[in-house]
């Protein structure tokens, strides 16, 4: 295994243990996802820091707030990473009020969109990007009215961060959607989610869809199972790695197998498909970080934002499904 990758894995495993002490009764999937989110940022979780951020969160929002409920751990993680938790949550609340102009169910998705924008843009820029997010979502809804829903709000935010105009983004996403739907047996919602990530890349729709499909098939052939649900979106973070699909498949498998032996990452807690998705994020982070051109760095930053936040949404979806089954 790549040395940097092992260091990231060990950091994620250590973070998971600390998060577990702070959030003893919260969903295990969220703990593991939060641990990886910190590791991607090369941050070591501190128990005191997490507890202080958790306290600040509770002082600023009610127990029924969308910032808590199922998203309490991701919110606390972002607060800790900001280095000023109180300022961060206050600003996030204000951004979320603006994003609420998007009328959709599932307030947790608007929260993820709000944090996506807040993590990338200054206060002076935020209003313009909120407006672009709202316009992007409207265009998505117009293009695919049946399948566009609250889960697409974070994608609208991440797409809004791109330098591309709204029309180009939505048109490219629609082209990719048509190609992916023809080549893979996916639900319309998931195919659309994948197409949103692909729209961020500069290649032709055919070229980037082919790269995505080749990567998916290579992983499958090498026993790296990726579900055809929300976790499939994480593959988008690998398309800019500059590494061949077979090498990526081997690295992901090694990382996933390494994580499996650690508490909180085994099949009994998160399952193989979600663990593979988290492994993908760690691999993508290491390999993309080795590519240094400025434009590529900006794109990587956007891709990481959308994929990591969407892994969190995958966890939310899994948790909701599990709750509804009891």
What is the residue extent of each domain of the chain?
Answer: 3-324
CA distance 186 to 192: 9
Of the chain, the percentage scoring pLDDT greater than 90 comes to 58
pLDDT band at 215 (very low <50, low <70, confident <90, very high): very high
| Mean of pLDDT values over 194-211 | 91
Nearest to 110 by CA among 139, 76, 137, 142: 137
The tens digit of pLDDT for each residue in 45-69 reads: 999 999 999 999 999 999 999 998 8
| Mean of pLDDT values over 117-137 | 93
pLDDT band at 307 (very low <50, low <70, confident <90, very high): low
The pLDDT value recorded for residue 289 is 57
- Between 304 and 286, the more confident residue is 286
Least confident of 53-62, 65-74, 262-271, 286-295: 286-295
**pLDDT reading at 122 higher than 70:** yes
Cα within 13 Å of Cα(138), Cβ side: 11
**pLDDT reading at 292 higher than 50:** no
Nearest to 80 by CA among 58, 114, 64, 57: 57
CA dihedral 27, 31, 33, 37 (to 10 degrees): 150
- Angle between helix axes 294-324 and 153-160 (nearest 10 degrees) is 170
| Mean of pLDDT values over 224-250 | 86
The pLDDT value recorded for residue 299 is 59
Which element (helix H / strand E) includes 87?
Answer: helix 85-99
Q: What is the mean pLDDT of the chain?
A: 87
């Amino acid at each position: 295994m790549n040395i940097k990758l092992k260091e990231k894995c060990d950091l994620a495993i250590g973070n998971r243990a600390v998060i577990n002490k702070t959030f003893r009764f919260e969903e295990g999937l969220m703990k593991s996802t939060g641990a990886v989110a910190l590791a991607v940022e090369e941050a070591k979780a501190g128990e005191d820091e997490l507890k202080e951020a958790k306290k600040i969160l509770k002082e600023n929002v009610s127990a029924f707030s969308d910032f808590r409920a199922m998203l309490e751990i991701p919110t606390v993680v972002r607060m800790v990473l900001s280095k000023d938790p109180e300022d961060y949550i206050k600003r996030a609340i204000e951004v979320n009020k603006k994003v609420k102009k998007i009328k959709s169910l599932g307030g947790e998705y608007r929260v993820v969109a709000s944090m996506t924008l807040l993590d990338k843009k200054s206060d002076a820029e935020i209003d313009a990007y909120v407006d672009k997010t709202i316009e992007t979502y409207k265009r998505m809804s117009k293009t695919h009215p049946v399948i566009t829903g609250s889960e697409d709000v974070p994608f609208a935010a991440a797409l809004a961060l791109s330098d591309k105009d709204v029309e180009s983004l939505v048109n490219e996403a629609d082209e990719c959607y048509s190609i992916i739907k023809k080549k893979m047996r996916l639900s319309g919602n998931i195919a659309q989610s994948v197409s949103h990530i692909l729209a961020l890349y500069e290649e032709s729709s055919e070229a980037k869809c082919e790269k995505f499909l080749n990567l998916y098939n290579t992983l499958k052939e090498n026993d790296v199972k990726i579900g055809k649900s929300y976790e499939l979106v994480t593959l988008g973070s690998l398309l800019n790695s500059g590494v061949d699909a077979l090498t990526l498949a081997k690295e992901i498998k090694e990382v996933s197998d390494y994580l499996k032996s650690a508490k909180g990452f085994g099949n009994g807690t998160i399952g193989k498909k979600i663990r593979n998705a988290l492994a993908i994020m760690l691999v993508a982070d290491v390999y993309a970080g080795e590519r240094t051109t400025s434009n590529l760095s900006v794109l990587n930053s956007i891709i990481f934002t959308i994929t990591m936040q969407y892994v969190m949404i995958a966890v939310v979806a899994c948790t909701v499904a599990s709750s509804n089954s009891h």
